[in-house]
Chains A and B, each alone.
Chain A
């Protein structure tokens, strides 16, 4: 297995049936993600980037093309692709602890009760929520819920972590904190990550490579940009670098001049 071909998205097309006929959401999307790499899909809202992520997760079936993860074709959803949802998708009737425990029980059924509970607490600790473990989602802030969502996905020990605009619903300050947190976790675990976002700064801060998506219908990956900024990254330090500025201009140019959202 070469590093460059850990996750292979090849020629993926998705056509939806709508009352007004067939709608080609995404067309001929090809992208590879190396092991331990952080890759971001960026594009305007509604361009189909979340559809592509959902296909990688196995929640949506591609019309043509396919996804190969570590040599195996993706045929359906599974815990090897831990997903963090935009609206956290925590089960409101379970505490933070039990939300993570449900995942641990399913993925590691051979562990003892004690080992399962330890694993839950370990991952809640990683996201800085070990003290709030008994709280229910309704008692937690949006940022805290998203942390639990991240802990739940990580606790599955996924081969690739899928982040679907995970910070989109949060205020700017909380978003910044959580981005730092994800960066820290990624560095610590060498976790392969595929993230969807529409925030250019977020993409540059976190990613090794950024895949720029054109607008739908028939959206595809127009360009892949490598982020050659030194790691570990600090948002204040990199913001002053000329390379950061050049990257941002290049991405914005792609998004706003070449593929401006036609409304």
Chain B
């Protein structure tokens, strides 16, 4: 066996020279990864406290926590369809996002594969996709409401449209960018069309497909809040609208924090899943 690994260990032994710069000092503090974000968050709360002094309508941090303490303590209380805990609101919203996202995967990946593989199909559909893609998904909501005559299917439909484009376009781009060498390997092995797809093209395009899914899920979570504000029912978006009607800005600030953390969690879950599936580091 060839000795190809001995070189790297030499490099690692040399000490880092930039001893005095601030970032390297912070690196030595073991909690730096936790401490710095906490400092950032504290600064934000500080700015908020100052602004709330100047703007009388804005509740200050302490008011926000005390007035929404019941909601924080009991996220899953359930007192009928119009009075549920914020946990339930999030779960209902996640359900709609999940359904719309799932439908978008079911349509977007196969359609993206076809678009990526056939230049005729691509030429036929690319202008249509380019025109529809920049349209705010909320513009589709009335069509959904008219078609389904119900709030939830209309919201799911809106999420479907939202999530469709990034999945479709990334899948198509991913398939087009598969290294010709991989396809040649498949041709030498005389793989059937189906096997060429499942063993070569889809795995090779997978990092692209997964980053499309990640973008889609992020946008879907953005759009669900807005579409629920318009449709009503149970959900975090409707919760925000409801609290606006109650003039409870404290609850709205709580909802903003919850929406943010849920969005972050979704993104991290998606990234972890992508890393697991592809066995390779992604963005």
Docked pose: A253 CA to B74 CA in angstroms: 87
A160 to B280, CA, bound (A): 34
Task: Give residues in B with beta carbon < 8 Å to A.
Answer: 1-2, 4-5, 179, 181-182, 184-185, 187-191, 195, 199-200, 203-204, 206, 278-280
Nearest CB in chain B: distance from A244 CB, A: 25
- A136 on the interface (CB 8 Å rule)? yes
**Residue pair A93, B204 in contact (C-beta under 8 Å):** yes
- Chain A proximity of B2: nearest CB distance (Å): 5
Contact residues of A between 57 and 104, Cβ < 8 Å to B = 57-59, 76-79, 81-83, 85, 87, 89, 91-94, 102-103
A252 to B1, CA, bound (A): 33
Judged by a CB distance under 8 angstroms, whether A107 is at the interface is: yes
Q: Which residue of B lies closest to A94 (CB)?
A: B203
A59 close to B2 (CB less than 8 A): no
Q: Which of B184, B199, B206, B280 meets A83, CB within 8 Å?
A: B184
Please name all residues of chain B whose beta carbon is closer than 8 Å to the beta carbon of A93 when the two chains form the complex: 203-204, 206, 278-280
Q: Are A91 and B280 in contact (CB under 8 A)?
A: no
Mostly, the A contact residues are: loop
Contact residues in A for B278 (Cβ distance below 8 Å): 93
**In whole angstroms, what is the CA distance A57 to B186 when docked?**
13
**Complex CA–CA separation, A103 to B206 (angstroms):** 21
Closest 5 CB pairs of A and B: A89-B181, A106-B189, A77-B187, A141-B4, A93-B203
7 A-B pairs besides A59-B187, A156-B189 with CB distance below 8 A are A57-B184, A59-B188, A77-B188, A78-B188, A79-B188, A89-B184, A106-B195
A89 to B188, CA, bound (A): 12
Partner of B188, one of A57, A94, A138, A141: A57
Min Cβ gap B111→A in Å is: 23
Across the interface, which residues of B come within 8 angstroms of A177, CB to CB? 2
Q: Given A59, A79, A89, A92, which contacts B190 in the complex, CB threshold below 8 Å?
A: A79
Q: Which residue from chain B places its CB closest to the CB of A93 in the assembled complex?
A: B203
Contact assessment for A85 and B279 in the assembled complex, using a CB-CB cutoff below 8 Å: no
Residues of A within 8 A of B191 (CB): 106
Which residues of chain B are within 8 angstroms of A87 by Cβ–Cβ distance? 181
Q: With the chains together, A102 CA to B198 CA distance in Å?
A: 12
A128 interface hit (Cβ, 8 Å): yes
A93-B206, A93-B278, A103-B189 known; A77+B184 contact, CB < 8 A: yes
Interface residues of A in 140-184 (CB under 8 A from B): 141, 143-144, 156, 173-174, 177
Question: What are 22 A-B residue pairs whose CB atoms fall within 8 Å in the complex?
Answer: A76-B187, A77-B188, A79-B189, A83-B188, A85-B181, A85-B184, A89-B185, A91-B182, A91-B185, A91-B203, A92-B280, A93-B278, A93-B279, A102-B189, A106-B190, A106-B195, A128-B1, A136-B279, A141-B2, A144-B4, A156-B189, A174-B4
Query: From residue 100 to 128 of chain A, which have CB atoms closer than 8 A to chain B?
Result: 102-103, 106-107, 128
Our pick among A79, A91, A106, A107 for the contact of B204 (Cβ within 8 Å) is: A91
Enumerate chain B residues within 8 angstroms of A77, measured Cβ to Cβ.
184, 187-188, 190
Candidates A78, A102, A138; contact of B280 at CB < 8 Å:
A138
Chain A residues contacting B4 (CB-CB under 8 Å) are 141, 143-144, 174
Which chain A residue lies CB-closest to B199? A102
Which A-chain residue is minimally distant from B277 (CB atoms)? A93
